[in-house]
Structure 1
Amino acid sequence: MTSVLDVQEALQAKGFDPGPTDGVRGRKTIAAILAFQAAAGLPADGIVGRQTLAKLIPGANPAALTIASAIPWLAEAHTLIGLKEDTSAGSNEQILQWALEQHISYHDDDVPWCGLFVSHCIASQLPREPLPANPLGARAYQTFGKPISPQPGAVVVFWRESLESGKGHVGFYVGEDQDRNFLILGGNQGNAVSIIGKPRERFLAARWPITGLPATGGPVFAHVPRVGNQIEA
């Protein structure tokens, strides 16, 4: 398997500083990938796909890219599982920092932040990906990127309360349970980043970043641990 650590070590060996070689795809690693791609005459998108991998690590199998390399926004989401909003009078500073980094006016984590979570995961890993004009609005992601069938890493949108309410929820598809409910990794799910089930009948759209690697997967039917045993409406 070709991991983020492998990519960092290869970048460092070729004179491109990825920051600490710690297996974390942070800003310095993304900047080093962009610099390497530009120097190699490749499209500079910050993603280690087939062409970039062939020049960075000759002989490496592109099919062996780990999720952190192939779907980095989903890998970032996984690292945040368990992060909770501040249920006291204050707010979780990490959630507020996401908004600050993206120049989004957001000052209180009592305000729904599922869209902010998705925008953070996308923006931190795909710096050139266009985001919705209102990334706080869950249903704004119905036109994000390009349409795709539900599969790991897809941004999935659901209606909330009623189809006509304009309210919604957004997160990342990670699988489906035995009842065909979608299993969603998202923010503001039980006041935290978690995996929950969402009813299939509330599904509105699945979208894929236009600057990400091409999607090659499909539905995943497996048990994925989630919060409790309830399907969240």
Structure 2
Amino acid sequence: MSSETVRSIQQALIADGFFPGEVDGIWGRRTIAAVKAFQDSVGLEADGIVGPKTSAALFSDVDHVPAGPLLPWLAEAENLIGTREVLGDKNNPTILDWADDLDLHYPGDEVPWCGLFVAHCVGSTMPEEVLPSNPLGARQWEKFGESTVPRLGAVMVFWRESKNSGKGHVGFYTGEDSNAYRILGGNQTDKVCLTWVGKDRFLKARWPRKASSLGGGDAIIVMNRTEDLSRNEA
């Protein structure tokens, strides 16, 4: 979801007397806490997710309601596009902070960090969501949350090298064509970016349990691909 949508939500929260921090378009902990407080005040489940019911209540006095439910983990992922690891002996402190915030042992960004990226996006925006026991392992995300179909925001798990290697890649669904999925993920050419991953490598699509209210419908986005497929995301 765009930063403009997040700003609209933050402004609406302030208008209703709830403080989400600065109106900065960032889906952070203060904004989530403000959404939960608002939900509680109007008798909705305080899950911190701006779904259809919360959106309708929050924007009941204005003419425009942001289109579609806000997927906070995807909004955070979009905000981090361009974040990259540091080549050599040094590390990107932002990536290390993700691990520290989740109390994970992570030696440095030369270690594959696609799972860490997904864990940060989900864990920082939905702190009550249960993450895999070892979120650094891409294939561990096959057991995350609940099963879903490939759709906008779904956690997509792929095998890497071979299906039986135990190695994998994980990221978020943003679209597809007939042969590949458009994935927003970390450690894709050493950075957070969008790339195409072949459907022949697809294993599972998963959805946060705390966001089950946003799971209705198949938000499939068909695209025309012009880039080559990603072959190895390590």
Q: Do they fold alike, i.e. is TM over 0.5? A: yes
Shift of 1:59: 5.8
Aligned to 2:29: 27
Aligned to 1:73: 73
Aligned to 1:216: 217
1:218/1:184 CA distance change after superposition, 3 Å: same
Aligned to 1:17: 19
One-letter amino acid of the counterpart of residue 146, structure 1: E
Query: How far apart, CA to CA, are the structure 2 residues paired with 1:59 and 1:14?
Result: 10
The reply to whether residue 207 of structure 1 matches residue 209 of structure 2 is no
Deviates more, 1:207-216 or 1:126-135: 207-216
Say if 1:149 and 1:218, in contact at 8 Å, map to a contact too.
no
1:171/1:96 CA distance change after superposition, 3 Å: same
Shift of 1:157: 0.4
Shift of 1:217: 2.8
1:94-123, CA deviations, whole angstroms, 9 ceiling, x for partnerless residues? 000000011111121111100000011111
Which SS does the other structure have where 1:81 is aligned?
Answer: coil
Which SS does the other structure have where 2:209 is aligned?
Answer: coil
Say if 2:18 and 2:34, in contact at 8 Å, map to a contact too.
yes
Aligned pairs, how many?
228
1:24-65, CA deviations, whole angstroms, 9 ceiling, x for partnerless residues? 222111111111222222211001122222322216689x53
One-letter amino acid of the counterpart of residue 7, structure 1: I
The reply to whether residue 232 of structure 1 matches residue 231 of structure 2 is yes
Which SS does the other structure have where 2:142 is aligned?
Answer: helix
The reply to whether residue 159 of structure 1 matches residue 159 of structure 2 is yes
Deviates more, 1:50-59 or 1:108-117: 50-59
Aligned to 1:133: 133
**TM-score with structure 1 length normalisation?**
0.89
Alignment map for 1:110-125 (pairs within 5 Å)? 110-125=110-125
Query: How far apart, CA to CA, are the structure 2 residues paired with 1:173 and 1:193?
Result: 14
1:146-174, CA deviations, whole angstroms, 9 ceiling, x for partnerless residues? 11111111100011111111111100111
Say if 1:18 and 1:32, in contact at 8 Å, map to a contact too.
yes
Which SS does the other structure have where 1:193 is aligned?
Answer: strand
Query: How far apart, CA to CA, are the structure 2 residues paired with 1:84 and 1:216?
Result: 33
Query: How far apart, CA to CA, are the structure 1 residues paired with 2:138 and 2:147?
Result: 16
1:112-143, CA deviations, whole angstroms, 9 ceiling, x for partnerless residues? 10000001111122121111011001111111
Say if 2:198 and 2:229, in contact at 8 Å, map to a contact too.
no
Shift of 1:224: 6.3
Which blocks of at least 5 consecutive residues in structure 1 are unaligned? none
One-letter amino acid of the counterpart of residue 18, structure 2: F
Shift >6 Å, 4+ stretches: none
**TM-score with structure 2 length normalisation?**
0.89
